[in-house]
Structure 1
Amino acid sequence: MTAAEHVCGLRGSRTKRLLDVLVGSSLLLVAMVPLSIAVVLVAVRLGRPVLFRQERLGEHGVPFTMLKLRTMHHPDPAHGLVTDADRLTRLGRFLRASSLDELPSLVNVLRGEMSLVGPRPLPTTYRERFTSTEHRRHEVRPGLTGLAQVHGRNALGWEDRFRLDIEYVDRQSVLLDLRILARTAVVVATARGVRAADCATMHELRPEASVR
């Protein structure tokens, strides 16, 4: 990398971070009323805790705690609540379809753990399941939305998802982020690709694999 490329990269990362803070804080402020209503509904229908917390892989593979609204009952084999399909509630399906469950993740954006745009963060339990090429998705901050989300969301297979994640890493720019954010609004409004075929959410990545 030349000195000029390094300077451009620094400027781009600063602009991206400024965009994250300005747009993220504005979205959180605008969404405060629907988020408050959703919190009350989750507390009444599902109980506490209202927030779902999970360790996800961040930039350079550093783990962080991602925040979302709960959409599922706790596992309870005695009452038939075992799989995601069993545990996902009608309220949860609505929250996911409308992406309201993602609003608490704006706190992760403001903390600098996530960006508005980037590869979606995956659970830390997946760490050993990536190939060396797939690990490149961790060269940037994970995002609320990304190329994969505007090209199919959870309906995409893993191969296509990773291909788009790596494409984003190679092409990243503020202009690309703005285009993805604009397309995300359409995807959310139409509730496209909320779940994979024959799955309540998305298929697990190589459940038996340990790829290094």
Structure 2
Amino acid sequence: MFDFVFALFTLLLFLPFFVLIILLILIFDGFYPLFIQERVGKDAVSFRIYKFKTMNDKKDAEGRLLKEELRVTRFGRILRKSGLDEIPQLFNVLKFEMSFIGPRPLPVYYINLEDKLQRDRHRVLPGITGLAQITGRNSLKWPQKFRLDNYYIEHQSFVFDLKILLKTIYSANGYDAVNFDHVIPKKNAE
């Protein structure tokens, strides 16, 4: 219920930014402003995740999408760096498909590739942010992310969630004020 109330409050707070971002994507990039994709959630049930679209759909001569770094728009880079591309996921929280804190949901095509370590992530609602995102995000290898996700699941608490949320806010603003080295045993962070 806390997630629902906080998501509703945050959505109302960010509503002017939400509308502004939609208009800016339409003006500068000229495409539909939302990215919608099937992801795997709690109990391995799929749902549609919402994000602001940050990439165009340009393809090569053979009809394949270009590499991600070639398709990210200038405005999309700003949205990604600031984390504002994640705002539409508040609707997923309101629909009880996601939480603020938890393992990031993976696209459904990964489900057949999962081992036990990865499947354990589906015991909780996926999150907009999580322990793996604040610990290293894209610099971590997949096994490290999965171990951090499972560490979070085993040690989940309101205080832990609050620490992760604060770290997310600080790092989105360029700060590194919350240190988790003392929380995560070295064997789980490797």
Q: Indicate conservation of the 8 Å contact 2:52/2:86, yes or no.
A: yes
In structure 2, C-alpha distance between the alignment counterparts of 1:127 and 1:173, rounded to whole Å: 27
Matched, 1:71 2:54: yes
What one-letter code is carried by the residue in structure 1 that aligns with 2:37? Q
Deviates more, 1:29-38 or 1:89-98: 29-38
Q: Indicate conservation of the 8 Å contact 1:97/1:191, yes or no.
A: no
Aligned partner of 2:180 in structure 1 is none
Aligned partner of 2:3 in structure 1 is 20
RMSD: 1.8
Picking from 143, 153, 167, the partner of 2:151 is 167
Aligned partner of 2:109 in structure 1 is 125
Matched, 1:30 2:17: no
In structure 2, C-alpha distance between the alignment counterparts of 1:35 and 1:154, rounded to whole Å: 26
What one-letter code is carried by the residue in structure 1 that aligns with 2:83? S
Q: How far is the alpha carbon of 1:36 from its aligned partner?
A: 1.4
Aligned residues: 175
Q: How far is the alpha carbon of 1:70 from its aligned partner?
A: 0.4
In structure 1, C-alpha distance between the alignment counterparts of 2:107 and 2:136, rounded to whole Å: 20
- Taking only the aligned residue pairs, the percentage that are identical comes to 41
Picking from 38, 63, 74, the partner of 1:90 is 74
| 4+ runs deviating over 4 angstroms | 78-81
1:85-128 deviations in whole A, cap 9, x for unaligned?
Answer: 11111111100001111000000001000000000001001111
Q: How far is the alpha carbon of 1:46 from its aligned partner?
A: 2.3
Aligned partner of 2:29 in structure 1 is 46
Picking from 85, 88, 100, the partner of 1:104 is 88
Q: Quick one: structure 1 residues 161 and 191, their matched pair in 2 at CA, closer, same or farther if it must change by over 3 Å?
A: farther
Q: How far is the alpha carbon of 1:81 from its aligned partner?
A: 5.9
Q: Quick one: structure 1 residues 191 and 28, their matched pair in 2 at CA, closer, same or farther if it must change by over 3 Å?
A: farther
After TM superposition, the score normalised by the length of structure 2 is: 0.87
In structure 2, C-alpha distance between the alignment counterparts of 1:190 and 1:38, rounded to whole Å: 21
Q: Indicate conservation of the 8 Å contact 1:80/1:86, yes or no.
A: no
Aligned partner of 1:59 in structure 2 is 42
Structure 2, unaligned runs of 5 or more: 177-190
Aligned partner of 2:134 in structure 1 is 150
Q: Indicate conservation of the 8 Å contact 1:118/1:145, yes or no.
A: yes
Deviates more, 1:101-110 or 1:73-82: 73-82
